[in-house]
Amino acid sequence: MSSRIEVPKPQTIDRSRLTYVKGGRPLLVKVPHPAKVDRNQLNYLFSGDSEEVGGIDIPMPAKIDVSKLVYTFGDREIVAPKPAVIDRNTLVYLSTGGVIRAPKARRINREELEYLPKKLTIIEQNVHSPVTPGQVNFPPFEVTPELDKKADERIAQYPDDQSRSAVLPLLHEVQHKFGFISPESIEWVAGKLDIAAIKVLEVVSFYPGFRQKAPGKFHVRVCRTLSCAMGGSYELMEKLCEITEIDRSKEDGHKDTISVSPCGNYSVEFAECLASCGTAPVCLVNDDFHEGVTEEKAQALLDSYTS
């Protein structure tokens, strides 16, 4: 008594039981002997021989129309389609009855998965946006309808074929709302103006007025140029740092010019001549201008910006 029926090359198939045999060899799926054969569905093409199966004499078919075959394994029924070839690269089952797309994988073993690190875009690689304690003061970059509308208004200030002129105005809108210029915002500005992102990045990296990392909630820009330096702006800077516990030692003069307090509330930066040399020393706190801010007035200045 034959214990097995050989089914022509692969079929689909109860995925939970399927065994993929790898290695380029033709795939052979062994199906155990059916407990029961649904005789009504069988198409026998008789060859004349017969065989006794389970006590019943069955004529041996020359060929079985497999598409109709119903195997019953114990309590489970499966329908095996006609033979198929598996293209191992794409896992497309080519069956005689048509093309069946097979799902990518039966099951994913999460432990075995290898995660490849996210590939940084060139813009992300070149924007220096380390997380600072000031980050908490600003929402993450997001294109709101309001921002989009403002951008369109700015773009309308320039001739139709010169929308690139709006790079600075758009970046100002972004920085004002989100605190600094992030890689995503650069991509957005570039997309909005239909120019390459590098043309936005080169602007961001040139102008000291654009920041690549979050400042404090109150960003103090102290003038360091001659008249203010004579009036005591370096001393003012020192005092501000002392009060706010800001450490300026990591600044590098060109790329990283902002230092943020550990609490994230304040940040400082040296600015060049703010065009008020007659009232030295002067500084800007966010958009507010302050004149005659000597060292002694540092505490009072900070006290007026607490929340």
Partner 1 sequence: MSDIKYLPGKEPHANEHRLIFKNVDREGWDTSIETYLKDGGYEMLKKGLGMEPKAVTEQVKTSGLRGRGGAGFPTGIKWGFIPPNNTKPVYLICNGDESEPGTFKDRYIVHQDPHQLIEGMVISAYAVGAHTAYIYIREEFPEAAITLEKAIAEAKEKGFLGKDIQGSGFDLEIYVHRGAAAYICGEETGLIESLEGKRPYPRIKPPYFPAAMGLYMAPTIVNNVESLCHVVHILRMGGDEYVKLGTPRNSGTRILCVSGDVKNPGYFEVQVGKVTFRELLYDMCGGPKDGREFKAVIPGGSSSKILRCNESFKIGRGDDAKDLSFWDLPLDFDTLAAAGSMAGSGGVIVLDDSRRMSWVLNNITHFYAHESCGQCTPCREGSTWMKKVSDRIEGGKATPQDVETLEQIAYQIDGKTVCAFGEASAWPVEAMIDKFREELVSATSEDNDFKSAERKAQEEFMSAVNV
Q: How far is the CB of 90 from partner 1 (least distance, A)?
A: 46
- Contacts with ligand FES: how many residues (CB under 6 A)? 12
- 44 phi and psi, to 5 degrees? -95, 130
304 binds, among ligand FES, partner 1, none (CB under 5 to 8 A by kind): none
Three-state DSSP state, 243: helix
What track of x and - describes contact with ligand FES for positions 171 through 210 (by CB under 6 A)?
----------------------------------------
Q: How far is the CB of 148 from partner 1 (least distance, A)?
A: 18
φ/ψ bin of 74: left (φ > 0), alpha (ψ from -120 to 50), beta (otherwise) = left
191 binds, among partner 1, ligand FES, none (CB under 5 to 8 A by kind): none
Kindly tell me which residue out of 37, 193, 222, 301 binds partner 1, with binding defined by CB under 8 A.
193
- 227 phi and psi, to 5 degrees? -60, -40
Q: In what order do the strands lie in the sheet with 259-260?
A: 259-260, 266-271, 218-223, 283-285, 288-290
Distance in angstroms (rounded) separating the CA atoms of residues 191 and 157: 18
Whether the CB-CB separation of 119 and 130 falls below 8 Å is answered with no
279 interacts with partner 1 by CB under 8 A:
yes
Three-state DSSP state, 266: strand
Based on its alpha-carbon atoms, the radius of gyration of the chain, rounded to whole angstroms, reads: 37
Nearer of residues 214 and 240 to ligand FES, judged by Cβ: 240
Nearer of residues 171 and 274 to ligand FES, judged by Cβ: 274
Distance in angstroms (rounded) separating the CA atoms of residues 175 and 178: 5
Scan residues 165-184 and list those touching partner 1 (CB under 8 A): 165-169, 171-172
Q: How far is the CB of 286 from ligand FES (least distance, A)?
A: 17
127 interacts with partner 1 by CB under 8 A:
no
Kindly tell me which residue out of 127, 147, 280, 285 binds ligand FES, with binding defined by CB under 6 A.
280
Nearer of residues 60 and 284 to partner 1, judged by Cβ: 284
What track of x and - describes contact with partner 1 for positions 220 through 259 (by CB under 8 A)?
-x--xxxx-xx----------------------xx-----
DSSP 164: G
**Strand 266-271 vs strand 218-223: parallel, antiparallel, or unpaired?**
parallel
Rounded to 10 degrees, the C-alpha dihedral 16/22/28/31 comes to -20
Whether the CB-CB separation of 252 and 300 falls below 8 Å is answered with no
Whether the CB-CB separation of 284 and 293 falls below 8 Å is answered with no
Site stretch for partner 1 (CB under 8 A), options 134-142, 144-152, 218-226, 237-245? 218-226
59 interacts with partner 1 by CB under 8 A:
no
Which residue, among 286, 241, 258, has the nearest Cα to 133 in the 3D structure? 258
Scan residues 215-254 and list those touching ligand FES (CB under 6 A): 223, 225-228
**Residue 8: both structure tokens together:** 């022509």
135 interacts with partner 1 by CB under 8 A:
no
Residue ranges in contact with partner 1 by CB under 8 A:
157-159, 162, 164-169, 171-172, 193, 199, 202-203, 206-210, 221, 224-227, 229-230, 253-254, 271-280, 284, 287, 289
Residue ranges in contact with ligand FES by CB under 6 A:
223, 225-228, 273-277, 280, 282
